[in-house]
Chain A
Amino acid sequence: MTVPDVLAFYVLAVLILVSASMVILAPRMYLSVVSLFFLVIFSSFLYFGLNASYIAIFQFLLCGLCLFLYIFLLLKKIGRLNLRLKLVSPFKLVFRTFFVFIFGVLTYLFFVEEFSNSLFDVFSFVSEKSSDVIDFATHIFPLHLVLILVVISAIVIRIFLLSYQNSEAISEDSKQKEGKND
């Protein structure tokens, strides 16, 4: 690995971690959303370095542009773009962060205890030669199932929302009629 590759990895790693932290710690909502956008862009650059250019472009288009615009427009619509963000109370904050810290330490200890001996190495298959050759094009076919599922779920949600609106309208009508009768 050349020096620019090493440098690029560390710079991207730091940028990804900083932008992820900013999503959580940003004082305003729009800063949090913009940090998420930068996280998507930096992680896409990281995928480029790992020869996964298709995934990088796909993530940038789907999550970077579409999802970011969707969140941004939604926040603008409800007028919460400049909302001041709060964390949970200090006691809960300390307790939950401590919980995540314990989780991290336990995971680290698990890997060290279980997989660092000479008998068994969890990542040994990385260096082994595999004879399986997978063609990307032949395995992409389930994508249409996912797209069909998306369309069906969108229709179901739409029907659910319409029926909810109808029931609300009916209940309001009945209330108005009761008010007139009284």
Chain B
Amino acid sequence: MIDNLLNIGLMHYLVLSFLLFLIGLVGVLVSRNLLRIVMSLFILSVSIVINFIAFGYYCDNSLDNANIISLFVILISAIQTIIALVILYKIYLANEFLDAEKTKDKEI
């Protein structure tokens, strides 16, 4: 048991990314603020990147592959966040609030 804890391997990183994914999923489901939902989606993408890089490090000759995929994941998640922020800004200008519970009842 202690040996498993002290010998850091792929499984440790997978467990970390899985916990991070669950936290992000909880954030998406329980937040009322739209901006915080977008930030929770970003947490999900960080967990995915940790997963890719851990596999790349522990697989032979796969670190470059993992770096390339991670690069695209980070880039796309950043773009997605920025586009979501622009949409949220327009929603805020139209409604004066960023509450998901109120927004879903309103016709946009």
Contacts and interface: CB of A to CB of B under 8 A. Distances in A.
Contacts of B7: 1
B64 A136 contact: yes
Contact of A67 (B49, B60, B65, B82): B82
Contacts of A103: 22, 25
Contact of A6 (B8, B16, B62): B8
B23 A55 contact: no
Interface string A95-124: 011011001100100000000000000010
Contacts, number: 179
A170 interface: no
Given A55-B53, A103-B25, A70 B82 contact: yes
Interface of A: 1, 5-6, 9, 13, 16-17, 20-21, 23-24, 29, 32-33, 36, 39-40, 43, 46-47, 50-52, 54-55, 58-59, 62-63, 66-67, 70-71, 74-75, 78, 80, 83, 85-88, 92-93, 96-97, 99-100, 103-104, 107, 123, 125-126, 128-136, 139-140, 142-143, 146, 150, 153, 157, 161
Nearest to A85: B33
Interface residues of B, number: 65
A128 B57 CA distance: 13
B53 to A, nearest CB: 5
A59 B89 contact: no
B36 A5 contact: no
A78 B89 contact: yes
A66 B62 CA distance: 29
B22 A23 contact: no
B36 to A, nearest CB: 6
20 contacts: A6-B8, A17-B19, A23-B40, A36-B39, A36-B42, A47-B50, A50-B56, A51-B63, A52-B57, A52-B70, A58-B74, A66-B78, A70-B85, A78-B92, A97-B26, A100-B25, A100-B26, A126-B59, A140-B68, A146-B75
Contacts of A146: 72, 75-76
